Amino acid sequence: MGTKKATRKAPPKAGNAKPPPARREISIYDALLRDGTQGEEINFSVEDKLRITEKLDEMGVDYIEGGYPGSNPKDLEFFRAAKSLRLSHAKLVAFGATRRSGTSCEKDAGMQGLLRAETPVATIFGKSWDLHVTDALRIPLQENLDIIHDSLRWLTKRFDRVIYDAEHFFDGYKRNQAYALKSLTAAVEAGPDWIVLCDTNGGSMPHEVAEIVEAVRARFDVPLGIHCHNDCELGVANTLAAVAKGADQVQGTINGFGERCGNANLTSIIPNLQFKLGLRCISDGQISKLVELSHFVDELANVPPNNRAAFVGRSAFAHKGGMHVDAVQKNPETYEHIHPELVGNRQRILVSDMAGKGNVLAKAREVGIDLESGDPVAREILAQVKQLEHEGYAFEGADASFEILLRKSMGTHKKYFSLHGFRVIDEKRDENVTPISEATVQVEVGGHLEHTAAVGNGPVNALDNALRKALENFYPSLMKMELLDYKVRVLASGHGTGARVRVLIESGDHSSRWGTVGVSENIIEASWRALVDSVEFKLMKDERAARASKRKPRS
């Protein structure tokens, strides 16, 4: 019999033991819709921001910073539209700055913009680093303290809750501790609900953040928050260090989007707080949708997901080395620090030239094939994989191609069509005109020969269009399939334009996505191999779904 995948033991239940004390709760503040959009290439429409707001509310986020109504019309439009949202938990926050020098709050455009947003919560930032007061604002140090106090006192009379972001606090504290603390005193005496210490330049170390938060905690009796940037790749670490010393609100963004290197990443902070530090943030049901939320935000931002992201990345629980795979099959805890399912992720077994027989057996079980450990087919497949990877194939991102290889080796693969030939023509008719690509394909399905042609944006797109056009009469479900991504890698640069290339294609339909691979010295041939695997996997998947549907008992 094949080795069965082990499961972790559930933690023991405590019989009649006394219930544990209530866990310390951490407030989650998401700044994606304002601070996150300051990241390069990150843009959200008003409709995008509304959809994200609803998702963050479902996730159990406490505060959602919707924008800076004093800076642009789009944010004001968002706040007007957001009034129609029925949020069950989160509170919308309007963001702004302290009043300007030489004017009152009543006459300051930014302060009036906060009022026009009509949110229950306002957050403003002020200067706590004397360098910014003297070199950026160019006003006396005492006037800055007066501005902080006046602005917060004015807001506390007009909003349910007011949050003060002490901008550049850690840099200010390290340069001029006395003045940084005076700026906090001015803020605290105005009565805000939270004081948030900001590592705005993202240059502080965790030990510095811990020491400074501890010192502030001992001096002021006011709820503290932490806002970190990721310029030293320490945004999450600094946030956790602050929480360990008493900060009860964490600010960040989903997927860490933000200016320069980004903000502290909430998709890492939340599970670390909850699973590693035992601090309550959101419910178990909500955190199990963390991967879904992460991908949702990436999709609306139109950026590819970060496969290597902690907790939510596709590779976060992926295992490649043969010994690792053998171990996690026996006990997942050997190489996994939490259950992937806790955050909505899953364990993945990769197959490559580093794979052992355990990888092949595990991968076979994933697709419903029960190979026994002593089966010679498993050894044959492993040898074939290693040879193909030596030739340039890569199955790590091409699960669909691997399943097809697996089924071909076992003699269970169904051939849905046969190629009689294809031709691809690129024609450039004028120096200033984009070339025209046309592909002609001849395939045979069940004894019927189909001969079709199609144009496309380049030869591969034309070939894809022609192939599916030839098959759609026989397999209508192909009309619902899309080619989502196409990557080419030159494998041996020493051969110049005659080098072997690897083509990776990602395809999808309404229910799933899958990857396929092709390798050849000819880029069109490599693309064809990947396209054929993609089409065959779609048809194989649909056939399995149809069989499963027929087996379901009627109600």
Dist. CA 351–CA 319, nearest whole Å: 9
User: Looking at residue 364, what DSSP letter applies?
Assistant: H
Helix (H) / strand (E) element for 300: namely helix 290-301
555 residues of the chain, pLDDT tens digit each: 333 344 444 433 333 444 445 567 999 999 999 999 999 989 999 999 999 999 999 999 999 999 999 778 889 999 999 999 999 999 999 999 999 999 999 999 999 999 999 999 999 999 999 999 999 999 999 999 999 999 999 999 999 999 999 999 999 999 999 999 999 999 999 999 999 999 999 999 999 999 999 999 999 999 999 999 999 999 999 999 999 999 999 999 999 999 999 999 999 999 999 999 999 999 999 999 999 999 899 988 988 889 899 999 988 987 776 677 678 777 888 888 999 999 999 877 666 545 555 666 766 776 667 766 667 777 777 778 778 877 888 776 788 898 898 888 888 888 899 999 999 999 888 888 888 899 999 999 999 999 999 999 889 899 999 999 999 999 999 998 988 888 888 876 555 555 788 899 989 888 888 989 999 999 999 999 999 999 999 999 898 888 877 766 655
Helix (H) / strand (E) element for 49: namely helix 46-59
Dist. CA 198–CA 195, nearest whole Å: 10
Dist. CA 520–CA 506, nearest whole Å: 18
**Ramachandran angles phi, psi of 511, nearest 5°:** -115, -20
Q: Which residues pair with 437 in a beta bridge?
A: 426, 456
Q: Using alpha carbons, select from 38, 162, 145 the residue that is nearest to residue 95.
A: 162
Q: What is the pLDDT of residues 159-192, one digit of tens each?
A: 999 999 999 999 999 999 999 999 999 999 999 9
Q: Using alpha carbons, select from 203, 66, 50 the residue that is nearest to residue 122.
A: 66
How far apart, in Å, are the Cα atoms of 154 and each of 70, 76, 158, 256?
16, 21, 7, 32
What pLDDT, on a 0 to 100 scale, did the predictor assign at position 23?
63
Dist. CA 515–CA 129, nearest whole Å: 51
pTM for the whole structure: 0.70
Helix, strand, or coil here: 85? coil
Vertex 337 angle, CA 224 and 295, to 5°: 70
Domains delineated in the chain: 27-282 (3.20.20.70), 318-392 (no CATH), 418-550 (3.30.160.270)
Helix (H) / strand (E) element for 305: namely none
| Greatest alpha-carbon span in the chain | 89
